[in-house]
């Protein structure tokens, strides 16, 4: 897998996280909201690592 392939997948993950947190898919229970926020944080960290590489 190439570097740009990884970034593409991270962009897709972050897009879906944004849809979930915006309420586009309905309200999330608090536990799910917390989990989605952790996913978003991890995805942002991976993008930052990707940009440093």
Q: Where are the domains of the chain?
A: 3-52
**pLDDT for the residue 44:** 93
Instruction: Tell me the whole-structure pTM to 2 decimals.
Output: 0.82
Between CA 23 and CA 46 the distance in angstroms is 24
Q: Mind listing the pLDDT tens digit for each residue in 1-53? A: 677 788 899 999 999 999 999 999 999 999 999 999 999 999 999 999 988 87
**pLDDT for the residue 6:** 87
**pLDDT for the residue 29:** 95
Between CA 40 and CA 22 the distance in angstroms is 13
């Amino acid at each position: 897998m190439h570097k740009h392939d990884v970034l593409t997948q991270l962009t897709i993950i972050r897009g879906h996280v944004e849809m979930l947190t915006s309420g586009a898919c309905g309200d999330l229970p608090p536990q799910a909201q917390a989990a989605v926020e952790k996913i978003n944080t991890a995805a942002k960290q991976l993008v930052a690592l990707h940009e440093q590489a």
